[in-house]
Structure 1
Amino acid sequence: MSLENRTCVVTGASRGIGRAIAEEFGNHGANVVVNYRSSEGEAHEVAEAIEESGGAALPVQADVADEAAIEAMAETTREAFGPADVLVNNAGVTVDKKFENMSREDWKRVVEVNLGGVFNATNAYFEDIKSADDGRLINISSVVGQQGNYGQANYATTKSGLFGFTRTLALELASTGSTANCVAPGFVETDMLETVPERVQEKILQRVPLDRFATPDDVAGIVRFVASEDASYMTGQILAVNGGMEW
């Protein structure tokens, strides 16, 4: 499942799942654009790790919610590596509150990044993916988009919205041979999970048949498969990487 000489863009790639995906791509020969919003040091660490493994990497700062910044990132990508073959829409934020306490700004911030950012990045790279041999659009959703989650009405809505977006883009890209798929991780050992109280984490684990949380690498391996030539006949799918949780 080599990605040799493929140009892969990963949004939100400085930490967590995004970092693991970027490094996984680099380990398999890809040219990787490491997008970040504010974690410059971490993004450069990711790029250095990719280059040490034999890949090529370019850290690029851009807030996915800023359309002009993402358009500029797409131009930078083409100048450095040529048109993108793979786009992974991973960047996302949370502002967790019970709905009765959620402000319009809390709602707007999450929607602007988690859905608006996906629109911006997909729009900026759409012609690249459409024209590529085996182009790949991969959206990172969540089990929360399938199940809902207490205190996350805004986040769950955005992650559920990616299902319809993915399916529609799959249909629109199909005639070109490029694909669109969605990976929906369960609960992953990242900074986001660390903010969850231990008693709540224990309750979540009771719902996971494999009796452990995912690691970022568990997700990255699946994303690398979806990005590879081996997944060329799969499109419009939601891949639940959740340890067996029902949804």
Structure 2
Amino acid sequence: MSALDRFRLDGRTAILTGVGPGVGEHVAKAYAELGANVVISARSQDKLDRIAAEINALDGGRARAVAVDAGERTALQRLVDAAHEHFGPIHIVFNNAAAGVVYARDGGLWANTDDVWKTALDVNLMATWRLAEMTTDDMQAHGKGSIISVQSCGGFTPIPPAVAYGVSKAALAFLTRSLAKALAPHTRVNALCVGSMSPDGQEAEIHKGLGLAERNAIKRFGAADEAVGAAILLAGDGSSYTTGSTVFTEGGRVGTIS
């Protein structure tokens, strides 16, 4: 196998959650460009339809859009069923859906209500667990499974008042290692920790005043497509001996914190 062939995804089917403008869209398009069938999901059907149409317009592009709430088990099962119906066995799961962030403007620490905690845990943690359970038979059968969950700097360094979000992401790190151990050798399970990113690399209005760019070594916001290389690496044979790991694309924020 040539070096570049290790990054091809021909004939493999990938499910991606949380696909919208940003990391999810760029990764979905990259997987499709590398030969994968992609089943994209989020809560907004309009955004999904636009992304799926752009993928299907590419030479050889194959995409299906399924609007689901990643925090609901029945919705995730519908997503998996749609992938099976259109493309067959599933090879890759890219868990990008996220929820439960609380900002100071929302009322501070105690704005982490029971509902916020439930949403954060269901979307940020349990969706990975549920999709792993729903796809494990496929991955065990073909032996090329890859589960990738998008981590956050907030799962490594506290960013109050987003406590529910941070705790759910910290738990995701341990779930990643636990599933990596339990599902080997037929499925590799890794995390991709993204930092301060936006679709165009510019600081979003909601982030202003938080000093996120200043906290990392590179001293700028990342553009969403800067996470694509790591997402490609973890999906296919280029990382065939990598599991239970976290790849950081956060400008050095976690790795250089002092």
TM-score by length of 2: 0.88
1:11 to 1, 14, 17: 17
| Displacement of 1:107 | 1.7
Instruction: State whether residues 15 and 92 of structure 2, in contact with CA within 8 Å, keep that contact through their aligned partners in structure 1.
Output: yes
State how far apart, in whole Å, the 2-side matches of 1:70 and 1:151 are: 29
Partner of 1:241: 249
Could you say what secondary structure the match of 2:143 adopts?
Answer: coil
Indicate whether 1:41 and 2:62 are aligned: no
Residue 109 of structure 2 corresponds to 99
CA distance in 2, matches of 1:197, 1:169: 33
Q: Is the 8 A contact 1:64 1:120 kept in 2?
A: no
Q: 1:45-90, CA deviations, whole angstroms, 9 ceiling, x for partnerless residues? A: 1111212223200001221222122112212111110110000111
* Residue 197 of structure 1: how far off its partner (Å): 4.4
Check whether the contact 1:24–1:224 (CA below 8 A) recurs between aligned residues.
Answer: yes
Map of 1:211 onto structure 2: 219
CA distance in 2, matches of 1:79, 1:101: 41
CA distance in 1, matches of 2:124, 2:209: 28
Separation of aligned partners in 2, 1:136 and 1:108: 27
SS for the counterpart of 1:150 is: coil
Secondary structure of the 1:221 match is helix
Aligned counterpart, 2:4: none
Query: Over the residues paired in the alignment, what is the CA RMSD in angstroms?
Result: 1.9
* Aligned positions, number: 243
Tell me the residue number matched to 2:196: 187
Q: Say whether 1:175 aligns with 2:167.
A: no
Q: Quick check: 1:11–1:88 contact (8 Å CA) kept in 2?
A: yes
Is the contact made by 1:129 and 1:137 (CA closer than 8 Å) also made in structure 2? no
**Inter-partner Cα distance in structure 2 for 1:240 and 1:137:** 16
CA distance in 1, matches of 2:241, 2:112: 42
State the one-letter code of the partner of 1:160. A
**Letter of the aligned partner of 2:61 in structure 1?**
G
Q: What TM-score results when the alignment is normalised by the length of structure 1?
A: 0.91
Percent identity over paired residues:
27
Which structure shows the higher helix fraction? 1
Shift of 1:240: 1.3
